[in-house]
Amino acid sequence: WDEFELIFSQVHSGFYARLLERFPKLSPSEQKLCAFLRLNMTTKDISELTGQSVNTLETARYRLRKKLNLVNSQVNLITFLSQI
């Protein structure tokens, strides 16, 4: 994870800073999920990479949408994160 985070930070410089500036209450695991989603990874891809079940990740995505105030289901989570 450390190596991934280093490369991600180089490619998407300032993403974590902008994310935490807008949403300071995100946990480290939610920040990690945001990074994976920013890379346009599917829930299945993230599941295989992290070893978490698809159901666990679906729940995490749902809770992340609530924390990001994305109550409108028309707003795509990946699109939203790519604009940060």
Widest Cα–Cα separation across the chain: 35
Instruction: Compute the distance between CA of residue 25 and CA of residue 1 in angstroms, rounded to an integer.
Output: 21
Q: What is the mean pLDDT of residues 58-84?
A: 89
pTM for the structure as a whole: 0.85
- pLDDT over 90 at 5, yes or no: no
64, 33 Cβ separation under 8 angstroms: yes
Cα 24 from chain centre: 14
Residue with tokens 């490619």: 11
- pLDDT over 90 at 73, yes or no: no
pLDDT of residue 1: 63
Nearest CA among 77, 47, 52 for reference residue 65: 77
